[in-house]
Copies of this chain bind each other. A is one copy, B any other.
């Protein structure tokens, strides 16, 4: 059903309209929304709700926080239920999934809002200016783990629907919520559940706010996501740490063996060396490259913002192309031997690395995982053992851009933000999105209310206070616009 952006076809390529306002002479298309005043009146309550939710440390990857994750799920379930939605808490082998819906509206489309109530780990804790679970407003930003990823962004849709329901005005379409607690650990249980519950979850359009605007003051709709596949690689050498004097020279050092393996994955030009790695990559068309090049962007400013002396990466591509539309290889963590103060002259018994690859459309995570393992094995010295485990994988995706849902979203965003959105890709992965498209056969609207410097996955995660409220306003307007589309 979904027609992907086909890079090999000039006709299809021309459908990419990164700057939609260049293709129309629209003024603001949407008149004042009937809910706008009510939304303004409720802004304090919206923030109080968000703060309450952010205080729950729902780190899904850490077994210690198991009950906290459940509590965060219960919180949103109760919120939806109290607002009049029919709510079901679906138990899984892991953290529960919350499903909720408003009544069906005959003749109007069905929108499914997807989001997650789990958050990333918080270390290094000493780099947070305020506690990750003690939300605080500073300089117009709400600081907390989960502020932007994804509690804050998801809550915009919950608040807009609850406001519609409380307003007395009829909500112009049916809205369903599918909210999971395992997005940060791979969404395995939701993926498993999806085919079984396809009828319950059925929708015409899926709405997800778990990404970013293009820049401050420039909202965006995301038409592409990268895929991902992650690994843990462990090298085992001697049975235990050895004295580097008595044994050094005759024993392969696992930390060096690991470094050599990790180094061999990429060459001096940032090109990944795994045989076949790029075979299935959907290449960027000249048309798309030209439009991407027109987006306002400065490598120098970008480098300065993140605090590096210069950007790095694959040769022959711009920084934006490398972040949005090229696959990557990253080492997320290293562990071996002595990590404390001072020196300890040992050959460590083992060394391990956390590794992630970001993938682009048409790369298959399973195929990449197999190629990576074969590559590592071909490079492994016989004097150490290797163990490679793969955590989770998801392919990348590209949305169709010619749907009425996109137009509706453009109008809602322009109404709330005062600026027409640009169409962008996103380097991150929302693994479940591809599965939604496959199983539910619905279009996806990726409406990011965050900013690139929101520190998702890092210390001092934040969400701009104003964007939280604009997100609610855009969402409230989106239901209006989507409701006009004939089923």
* Chain A residues packing against B (C-beta within 8 Å): 61-63, 120-121, 123-124, 127, 185, 212, 226, 228, 230, 232, 237-253, 255-256, 258-260, 262-264, 266, 302, 306-314, 319-320, 322-323, 326-348, 351, 353-354, 356, 358, 381-385, 391-392, 426-429, 452, 455-460
Contact = CB atoms under 8 A, between A and B. Distances in A.
Contact of A249 (B228, B326, B332): B326
A384 B120 CA distance: 26
A62 B426 contact: no
Given A256-B262, A256-B330, A251 B340 contact: no
A344 B256 contact: no
**Nearest 3 A/B pairs, CB to CB:** A245-B428, A239-B307, A252-B312
A337 B127 CA distance: 13
A358 to B, nearest CB: 5
Contacts of A345: 228, 230, 330, 332, 356, 457
A312 B381 contact: yes
Point out which of A61, A347, A358, A381 has the most chain B C-beta atoms below 10 A from its C-beta. A347
A308 B238 contact: yes
B332 A426 contact: no
Contacts of A348: 331-333
Contact of A391 (B127, B243, B264, B342): B342
A202 to B, nearest CB: 29
Contacts of A247: 306, 323, 427
A346 B457 contact: yes
A70 B323 CA distance: 55
A358 B322 contact: no
8 contacts: A61-B340, A228-B345, A249-B328, A250-B319, A250-B323, A259-B262, A345-B356, A346-B457
Contacts of A343: 61, 185, 230, 232, 332, 354, 356, 391-392
Contact of A248 (B63, B253, B258, B330): B330
Given A249-B322, A334-B334, A459-B240, A353 B391 contact: no
Contact of A458 (B243, B320, B322, B427): B243
A396 B60 CA distance: 52
A280 to B, nearest CB: 17
A89 B339 CA distance: 33
Contacts of A251: 306, 308, 311-313
Report the copy number of this chain in the oligomer: 2
Point out which of A308, A322, A428 has the most chain B C-beta atoms below 10 A from its C-beta. A308
A196 to B, nearest CB: 26
Nearest to A347: B330
Point out which of A63, A335, A429 has the most chain B C-beta atoms below 10 A from its C-beta. A335
B228 A245 contact: yes
Contact of A259 (B263, B320, B344, B426): B263
Given A241-B458, A253-B331, A332-B337, 8 more contacts: A121-B340, A240-B307, A241-B457, A244-B330, A248-B328, A252-B312, A256-B330, A343-B354
A309 B346 contact: no
A215 to B, nearest CB: 13
B241 A459 contact: yes
Contact of A428 (B243, B381, B427): B243
Given A121-B338, A346-B458, A309 B244 contact: no
Contacts of A340: 61-62, 121, 123
Contacts of A459: 240-241
B246 A212 contact: yes
Point out which of A63, A346, A358, A384 has the most chain B C-beta atoms below 10 A from its C-beta. A346
Given A243-B458, A245-B228, A252 B308 contact: yes
B354 A344 contact: yes
